[in-house]
Amino acid sequence: MNIVVCIKQVPDSDKVTIDRETNRLNRAGVPSIINPFDENALEMALQLKEKHGGQITVVTMGPPQAEEALRSALAVGADKAILISDRKFGGADTWATSYTITLALKKLEEPADIILFGKQAIDGDTAQVGPGVAHFYGVPIITLIREIEVSDTSFKVKQVTDTGFNLWEIDRPAAFTVVKEANELRMPSLKKKLAAKKAEIPTWGVEDLGAEMEKIGLSGSPTKVNKVFAPPIKMNKEVLDGEPAEMVNVLLHKLRERKVL
């Protein structure tokens, strides 16, 4: 089974600032990690491989340093890694990111049987890239899954909902986004860690992917950020005074008036 896991390198802190001129994130100098939800997708891939065999390819699109995230994935047991990186991909929105990642998936030697994503990235937070890639790649997607069973022709999955879960059966190939409750990523072994350090990681740019210029990067992104701002915090504060018992009565009255009680 060919398992592809899309992972994103994200800033490891809340120290990220926003460039007020361009409305883009200033990521320089901020330590990075694998997006925590992508660790769950990766662990799901490792467990699927242990049970059903096959190989795991991890793919990321990002600046050259995103290679570190790929090496971390190799260190826990992924077989191959691909870095999608080119200055011309910079400034991509989720549509352009999904288009570009899909070109890389289509360039892999073997087509994917299953494509796994984290449920969302902790920096961009849109949860759009999984469904975007599934659309461009031409496979169905089920989001927010925590368990998966594989048969020759289909996948049976448990999808988490607000009130419980849904059980779905879906034809192969398919894509899924994975929730945190699914599992916990294993620790790397020393042997794999050393091998990961030396692994050859191909970098694919615009020309390797045959990307259409009007569909990539900032200029190929149909959405534009007009303004970035912190929402104003509205506080309708009211201070009660008087005797405690009297204040409690007034408070109860006000809460009932607002249908809080």
Residues binding ligand FAD (CB under 6 A): 6-8, 24-25, 35, 37-38, 41, 59-62, 91-94, 97, 101, 117-118, 120-121, 123-130, 218, 223, 225
The residue among 24 and 135 lying less far from ligand FAD, judged by its C-beta, is: 24
53: left (phi over 0), alpha (psi -120 to 50) or beta: left
CB closer to ligand FAD, 77 vs 130: 130
Q: Among residues 18 and 250, whose Cβ is nearest to ligand FAD?
A: 18
Shortest distance (Å) from residue 63 CB to ligand FAD: 9
Task: Please say which residue, 37 or 136, places its beta carbon nearer to ligand FAD.
Answer: 37
Q: Report residue 9 as tokens.
A: 């390198």
Tokens matching residue 187: 């620790």
Residue of 33, 34, 31, 29 lying closest to 6 (CA atoms): 34
Shortest Å, Cβ 22 to ligand FAD: 7
Spatial neighbors of 124 by CB under 8 A, at least 6 apart, are 8, 94
Least Å from the CB of residue 233 to ligand FAD: 24
Closest distance of CB 66 from ligand FAD, Å: 8
> Which residue has the closest beta carbon to ligand FAD?
124
Closest CA to 74 of 64, 52, 59, 85: 59
Task: Provide, rounded to whole angstroms, the least separation between the CB of residue 222 and ligand FAD.
Answer: 9
The minimum distance between CB 27 and ligand FAD, in angstroms, equals: 7
Q: How far apart are CB 203 and ligand FAD at their closest, in Å?
A: 13
| Between 38 and 113, CB nearer to ligand FAD | 38
Residue 97: name the closest of 9, 172, 34 by CA.
Answer: 9
Based on CB atoms, which residue is closest to ligand FAD, 164 or 231? 231
The tokens describing 227, both together, are 């303004």
Token readout for 89 is 């991909």
